Structure 1
């Protein structure tokens, strides 16, 4: 079974790369930026390319193994071992719309355990404009693949060993919705002067993977929505398999059917970081209880 998951992840990464070529071609086409103004456009609705992209990916996945279908089409009836594909559109809609390179195509695979809790067991994140792919499968470790002038480089990844906020590199994400953005900025303001740098690049899938490979020591974002599940679930597997930590701000498990205040760390600085998160002016906090995901540290 485990060897099968490893090979499955490699096959899925090839599908993500093919999908990424189509999405990158679309990104390079001229656009009317007036139609992309955040005052006039709800970025939560995604892009026109999203439906074509997700359908292309899912059709290709069915040639490998359709399992029980799509994650969003699952029913209340389940059995241990049932698996569902979770396919999103472009993660990083604003970056994509503004011709930035930091966006990705994400694919994950969920499996139900004997307790009725479905957890991601395979994740692929492909960033076409960066020539970068992260992939991981349960108990198989996490890999970063980069295309270079001398060929493809495959590297096993692991988080940093930085043990204090002082001098660390922290990344954060925030919504375009004013109230949700303020929540993130409150934390950033309270952290000022502690980390050596606080980055805001996005999207969530790449930010979590950059914690997994040691680029960042931590990443946090409040108010991640259900629409973010494809990106978060794929990146979660990469982080867990690299031996990083993922939780809600208050230390709970991620809820895959609802909203979350998310924090990813190298496992070393969470104790110092957490008070800044939970003491922020957060309003409603989203934290739920599920069975511990396989591979979570």
Structure 2
């Protein structure tokens, strides 16, 4: 099988994400049932999560049988093409459960091992079926909301920066994260917590927030969103020259990123290693 272009991969990812989002929206309208909890009682998976991932996996296998698959709700399988699809069928499951219209299907295609510190993202789609918003990006092709090209906010002074973040499912870690926010909130305009890493990263890309950071993310949480943010001109990484990973992800316009990164570093050293 010949290697497709990023634009061709994006076309397929877009088609699959829309179909999967329509399924998730139907299940939301019918009523949501929790299938089980995972790392904590707050960390839930619904029957719709699993059903949506099954659909995405089947559609990818039909179109690209030699590609690997790495999703949140099923076993990862390697491929032979060098490409892997990194999928979160419903990012923001708690929002989905409560009917909060901030959840999304997130689908990315990456080249190399399915490891954020080494892979090369080629295409990414984040689709919010509750609002109908479709965020897309391909490597070198820019980032879009529908047909509108996206550009992350630049030139924002730190005191006027709106910053997004998220919280762990662990109560003890949430307490430490709150201390970081307590040290940060006096230096920025305000803090937002939306509940979907994929949508947070798209919010950076679209200028709805100026910067986003979070610890404890899984690869499927940010694979598509990080590409969308980068293609919109954002810098995405961690402390120093580190790539984003489960340890930390920061995303924002390069000037703001470079201003806030050392402040975050000091706050994390002060609070995140507390017991």
Q: Give the structure-1-normalised TM-score.
A: 0.79
Compute the RMSD of aligned alpha carbons.
2.8
2-structure distance, mates of 1:184, 1:201: 15
SS at match of 2:186: coil
Q: CA deviation at 1:51?
A: 1.9
Q: CA deviation at 1:197?
A: 2.1
Secondary structure of residue in 1 paired with 2:130: helix
Is there any run of 5+ residues in structure 2 with no aligned partner, and where? 71-75
Identify the residue that residue 269 of structure 1 maps to in structure 2: 256
Report if the CA contact (8 A) 1:218-1:264 is conserved: yes
Contact 1:211 1:265 in 2 (8 A): yes
Spell out the pairing of 1:156-195 with structure 2 (5 A cutoff): 156-195=149-188
Residue matched to 1:52: 51
Counterpart of 1:207 (choices 200, 216, 221) is: 200
Distance 1:31 1:106 in 2: 19
Match of 2:265 in 1: 278
Instruction: Tell me the alpha carbon deviations over residues 148-184 of structure 1, each in whole angstroms, 9 at most, x when there is no partner.
Output: xxxxxx1010100133211111111112311221232
Q: More displaced, 45-54 or 90-99? A: 45-54
Number of the residue aligned with 2:73? none
User: 2: CA distance between counterparts of 1:4 and 1:197?
Assistant: 40
Q: Which residue of 2 aligns with 1:107?
A: 107
Q: How does 1:1-297 map to 2 (within 5 A)?
A: 4-31=5-32, 42-71=41-70, 72-74=76-78, 82-112=82-112, 117-145=118-146, 154-224=147-217, 228-255=218-245, 259-280=246-267, 281-283=271-273
CA distance in 1 between partners of 2:231 and 2:183 (Å): 31
Q: CA deviation at 1:65?
A: 1.9
Unmatched runs of 5 consecutive residues or more in structure 1: 146-153, 285-297
Query: 2:231 and 2:130 mapped to 1: Cα distance?
Result: 25
Segment of structure 1 superposing worse, 167-176 or 6-15 = 6-15
Q: Cα gap change, 1:232/1:197 in structure 2, threshold over 3 Å: closer, same or farther?
A: same
Within 2, Cα distance between the matches of 1:43 and 1:111? 33
Preserved contact between residue 96 and residue 102 of structure 1 (Cα < 8 Å): yes
Work out the CA distance in 2 between the residues paired with 1:36 and 1:47. 5
Deviation of the 1:36 alpha carbon: 9.5
Contact 1:92 1:104 in 2 (8 A): yes
Q: Distance in 2 between matches of 1:214 and 1:192?
A: 19
CA shift, 1:203, in A, is 0.4
**Shift >6 Å, 4+ stretches:** 35-38
